Chains A and B, each alone.
Chain A
Amino acid sequence: MDNHGSYKSLINIWLLLMFFTVTTVGAAQFDFGAWNVPIALIIASFKAGVVALHFMHLKHEDSMTWVFATYPLFLLFLLIAFTATDMFTRVAN
């Protein structure tokens, strides 16, 4: 039922994750200025996506599960966006 793919594919996914880990540690040795955080987040998101889709079988789940798995990210974005906007648009009197 949930037996998608083979042991080999699991190990390949793991190798991919190792590659991304090396990449992110390597990228941290350089200074990309304002791009440091976005680059780290993008690589982390690749890794997270791979874990979610393949290790957690999100790829094979129904749409309701997708909604519940991804909507919290939107809410998180809301929390950060509004709070940050408040923090950084206050005007000193």
Chain B
Amino acid sequence: MEAACAGSFLVVLTLARKRRMYMCKRGDDAVDLALIEPILEKYGSRRGTLIPILQKAQDLYGYLPPPVLEVISKRLRLPISKIFGVATFYSQFYMERRGRHVLKICDGTACHVKGTPSLLSAIRDEYRIKPGETTEDYELTLEVVYCLGSCALAPVAVLGDQVVGNLRGDQLSRVVRKRIKETAIPSEE
């Protein structure tokens, strides 16, 4: 059984490499390593460009898949340990696949005093995720950020790229529910 497993895994790996594809550890998204090439071409020769490259890579993939980091390491001639060190240092970078929707709830001081804790507990209760976690169906990732600089709209959250402010009561839950419903991928029934 184990051998069969390992065998089939190897086959998949080889196939994937042939097509420059790689099956990701979590989720079933394929990572297309070709996408990163133009970015490496554009930035690769300059110094101090690791962070911009990681940012662009994350824009592409939604997170930083380990194979992508390996490619970057080879091309920039930087040890993978250093790249891993930088990628894990900054809160903006993610090493795991994230939800289709990312909800960032601001817990900056102004938002905090105006009611962020209750927004957080409402989301926690409804989706059973804590800050930093993603729902099992990869629909929603919850994050807490410190100050989005929109304190006058406190408490404020960002769903994808939509800023929602002056949140009272269950407003935020409603916005999230609506967004997930509206963008649902039709099932194949």
Asked whether A and B interact, the reply is no
Enumerate chain A interface residues (CB-CB to B < 8 A).
none
Enumerate chain B interface residues (CB-CB to A < 8 A).
none
